[in-house]
């Protein structure tokens, strides 16, 4: 079966760095997305990785290793507004997005 694993919840301190991991087992791979979702709101796009390596975008970076079926989202200089759920999603061989359950990130002052 197809499976995406993320930690359910993480806690970090304002100003610190946090890494949210995502491992996947899917039938084929055509790219991995990270989305941010504040409680009760719509998910918003953060990043897309299709090749191995690190993609940096401001305070957020995303890493992919296709051979390991692994990705992480790195958030630097954490702000209170970063408190949200972070969703990992993989496009499989049928071009369908398979979603993880999301990681709820709690930022403490």
Binding positions for other proteins, rule: CB under 8 A: 4, 8, 30-31, 33, 40-45, 48, 50, 87, 89, 91, 95-102
Instruction: Report the residue number, 38 or 68, with the smaller CB distance to other proteins.
Output: 38
List helix spans (H) across the chain: none
Contacts of 42 (CB under 8 A, 6+ apart): none
Instruction: Report the residue number, 69 or 100, with the smaller CB distance to other proteins.
Output: 100
Please state, in angstroms and rounded to a whole number, the distance separating the CA atoms of residues 66 and 51.
8
**Least distance in Å: CB of 25 to other proteins?**
14
Instruction: Report the residue number, 78 or 98, with the smaller CB distance to other proteins.
Output: 98
Please state, in angstroms and rounded to a whole number, the distance separating the CA atoms of residues 11 and 42.
22
**Least distance in Å: CB of 14 to other proteins?**
26
- What is the phi/psi pair of residue 81, to 5°? -70, -10
**Least distance in Å: CB of 3 to other proteins?**
10
């Amino acid at each position: 079966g197809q499976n995406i694993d993320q930690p359910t919840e993480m806690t970090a301190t304002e100003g610190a760095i946090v890494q949210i991991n995502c491992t996947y087992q899917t039938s084929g791979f055509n790219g991995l997305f990270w989305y941010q979702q504040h409680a009760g709101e719509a998910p918003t796009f953060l990043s897309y990785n299709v090749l191995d390596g690190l993609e940096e975008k401001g305070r957020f970076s995303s890493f992919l290793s296709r051979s390991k079926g692994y990705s992480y989202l790195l958030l630097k200089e954490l702000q209170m507004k970063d408190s949200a759920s972070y969703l990992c999603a993989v496009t499989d061989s049928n071009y369908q997005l398979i979603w993880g359950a999301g990681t709820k990130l709690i930022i403490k002052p």
